[in-house]
Amino acid sequence: MESEAVTNFRTYLRIPSVQPDVDYGPCLEFLKGQAKSLDLPCRIFEVVAKKPIVVISWEGKEPKLPSVLLNSHMDVVPVYPEKWTHDPFSADKDANGNIYARGSQDMKCVGIQYIEAVRRLKFSGIKLKRTLHLSFVPDEEIGGADGMKKFVHTDDFKKLNIGFSLDEGMASPTEEFVLYNGERSIWHMCIHCPGTPGHGSLMHPSTAGEKLRIIIDRFMDFRQKEKEKLEANPTLTVGDVTTINLTQIKGGVQPNVVPPELQVIFDARLAVTIDHKEFLAMIESWCNEAGPGTHLTFIQRNAKAPVTPLDESNPWWVAFKRASDAMNLKIRTLIFPGGTDSRFVREVGIPAIGFSPINRTPILLHDHDEFLNETIFLKGIDIYEKIIPAVADI
């Protein structure tokens, strides 16, 4: 017979909260029902219309102490149904216990694991020292601009009195569990290359294409150096270097017309060791080299967020590690290669750890046939049942 926790997980997965233009209403109704089943208050905040933030709170014995935030996001990325062997919103479970659905790893699993761990703790009579806040936020998968990024600057967030946050990590195909204490800064950049327009049969001076070539060469040369750095040192992971990828080129109307401007867009993820001012100055020097009018605009530009220390100076980490050591968990600490809502929490001075208790599982977030095995899912609840009281009782 299927456990209630797995049933709740599969029910949540069947809500198609898929980007873009998410209707969060069904998620709200589901989470309100979960709060009611826990006999806990549930509040809905809307910093941006139709972008609700759900907060379920469990008051601690000493509510004036800084609280613990357990954050997850409700939205999931788009799917290509024809590439799936199961309907991506059916939450089908096969004979091996693998549950197939978009969001099974990223990250509806963690949201339900929080809920089920709290359910076990609360109904076993345990009373935690610090207040817990379970937050379910919108739009993480499109950058979090209308979700956590704005929420952390509101009075409603400040009143939660957060001292420490847990958020998503990533699956691990080995026995290890991966833990993230920082992440690279996302810079989505558009380089505008204006030039002399005209007929495609002539040899115009200072064309957009000539400038574009210089810009692409400089970005790709930098990319190659970072790639070589990563390949030369087996102790490094992709989160330790700056990645640059050319993602879009725009401009032109037809083959025989030289355009007045071409644009090239890059996705850059700046390593935590990168000086942002120096990196910006380097790009501006490339624009100057390319020629007059070449300039940079930002589509997204994240500030440099602090890395959460993993040493004795951080009592939250000490408590987390003590609990994980007691369970004999093999933990590997890394810098997150992408971007999560933790970066916004760290930017306002709150230590945050990214951790999804998923091991022995292929990494399938954003991939076709995303799945999580029910045994691994249930083990994750066991893990949170130990970690949550450890950090809440420091």
Burial 95-110 (b: 16+ CB within 10 A, else e): eebbbbbbbbbbbbbb
Distance CA 169, CA 179 (A): 6
List, by residue number, the catalytic residues: 75, 140
Q: Which two tokens stand for residue 177?
A: 């569990």
Between CA 160 and CA 4, with CA 22 as vertex, the angle to 5 degrees is 70
What's the chain's Rg over C-alpha atoms? 23
Write the CA distances from 327 to 36, 376, 380, integer angstroms.
31, 15, 12
Q: Which two tokens stand for residue 3?
A: 């456990």
First-residue to last-residue Cα distance in the chain? 37
Q: Which residues pair with 100 in a beta bridge?
A: 92, 371
Distance CA 316, CA 318 (A): 5
How is 37-58 classified by DSSP, letter by letter? Answer: HHT--EEEEEEETTEEEEEEEE
Question: For residue 162, which phi and psi values (nearest 5 degrees)?
Answer: -75, 130
CB 22 within 8 A of CB 16: no
Distance CA 23, CA 220 (A): 39
Q: Which two tokens stand for residue 145?
A: 């601009």
Write the CA distances from 241 to 232, 270, 329, integer angstroms.
12, 7, 27
CB 77 within 8 A of CB 20: no
Distance CA 169, CA 148 (A): 16
Show contacts of 285-291: CB within 8 Å, 24+ apart. 286/214, 286/215, 286/218, 286/219, 287/191, 287/215, 289/214, 289/218, 290/193, 290/211, 290/212, 290/214, 290/215, 291/195, 291/206, 291/210, 291/211, 291/214
Question: For residue 368, which phi and psi values (nearest 5 degrees)?
Answer: -70, 155
